[in-house]
A and B are shown apart, each in its own frame.
Chain A
Amino acid sequence: MSSVHLEGVTKSFKDMVAVDNIDLDVREGEFLSFLGPSGCGKTTTLRMIGGFEQPTSGKIFLGEDNVAGLPAYKRNVNTVFQSYALFPHLAVAENVGYGLKRKKVGKDETKKRVEEMLELVDLPGYGDRRINQMSGGQQQRVALARALVNRPGVLLLDEPLGALDLKLRKQMQLELKRIQSEVGITFIYVTHDQEEAMTMSDRIAVMNAGHFEQIGAPQDIYEFPATEFVASFLGASNLLDGDVESGDGGMTRVKLAVGSTVSVPTNRMPAGAGHVRVGVRPEKLHITGAGATGDGGGTSANGHGANAVEAQVMVSTYIGVSTSYECRTSDGSKIVVYVQNLGNSAQPIGAGATVRLSWDPEHTFAVGANGGGK
Chain B
Amino acid sequence: MAGEGRRKLTPYLLTLPGVGFLVVFFAIPMATVFSVSFQEGSLSQGFTFTGHWQNYTDTLARYDTQLIRSLMVGLIVTIMTLVISYPMMYWIAFRGGRRKNIYLLLILLPFFTPFLIRTLMWKTIFADEGILLGFLKDVGLVSDSYQVLATMTAVISGMVYNFLPFMALPLYVSLEKMDPRLLDAAADLYSSKRQAFLKVTLPLSYPGLFAGSLLTFIPAVGDPINPELLGGVNTTMIGQVVQREMLTNNAYPRGSAISFMLMAVILIGVFLYARVLGTEEMTG
Contacts of A50 in B (CB 8 A): 188
* Contact of A81 with B by CB under 8 A: yes
Interface magnitude class on chain A: 20 to 34
* 8 Å CB contact of A81 from B184, B190, B191, B200: B184
Tell which of B184, B189, B203 has the most Cβ of chain A within 10 Å: B189
* Contact of A229 with B by CB under 8 A: no
CB–CB A102/B190 < 8 A: yes
* 8 Å CB contact of B189 from A52, A89, A150: A150
Chain A contacts to B: CB under 8 angstroms: 50-52, 71-74, 77-79, 81, 83, 85-89, 98-99, 102-103, 146-147, 150
Taken together as a complex, chains A and B put the C-alpha atoms of A74 and B182 apart, in Å, by: 17
* Contact of B264 with A by CB under 8 A: no
Taken together as a complex, chains A and B put the C-alpha atoms of A340 and B266 apart, in Å, by: 79
Taken together as a complex, chains A and B put the C-alpha atoms of A50 and B185 apart, in Å, by: 11
* Contact of B1 with A by CB under 8 A: no
Taken together as a complex, chains A and B put the C-alpha atoms of A102 and B187 apart, in Å, by: 10
CB–CB B192/A87 < 8 A: no
Residues of B within 8 A of A (CB-CB), count: 18
Taken together as a complex, chains A and B put the C-alpha atoms of A229 and B186 apart, in Å, by: 37
CB–CB A73/B188 < 8 A: yes
Contacts of B179 in A (CB 8 A): 83, 85
CB–CB B204/A102 < 8 A: no
Min C-beta distance of B192 to chain A, whole Å: 6
Give B189-240 interface residues, CB cut-off 8 Å to A: 189-192, 195, 199-200, 203-204
Min C-beta distance of B193 to chain A, whole Å: 9
Taken together as a complex, chains A and B put the C-alpha atoms of A88 and B203 apart, in Å, by: 10
CB–CB A87/B182 < 8 A: yes
CB–CB A102/B195 < 8 A: yes
Contacts of B9 in A (CB 8 A): none
Contacts of B184 in A (CB 8 A): 52, 72, 79, 81, 85
* Contact of B139 with A by CB under 8 A: no
Contacts of B282 in A (CB 8 A): 89
Tell which of A71, A73, A78, A86 has the most Cβ of chain B within 10 Å: A73
Taken together as a complex, chains A and B put the C-alpha atoms of A83 and B182 apart, in Å, by: 10
CB–CB B181/A81 < 8 A: yes
CB–CB A72/B187 < 8 A: yes
Jot down 22 A-B pairs with beta carbons below 8 A, ordered by A.
A51-B187, A52-B184, A52-B187, A71-B192, A72-B184, A73-B191, A77-B188, A78-B188, A81-B185, A81-B188, A85-B179, A85-B185, A87-B182, A88-B204, A89-B200, A89-B204, A98-B199, A99-B189, A102-B190, A102-B191, A102-B195, A150-B189
Taken together as a complex, chains A and B put the C-alpha atoms of A147 and B189 apart, in Å, by: 8
Contacts of B203 in A (CB 8 A): 89
Contacts of A89 in B (CB 8 A): 200, 203-204, 282
Contacts of B185 in A (CB 8 A): 79, 81, 85-87
Min C-beta distance of B94 to chain A, whole Å: 15
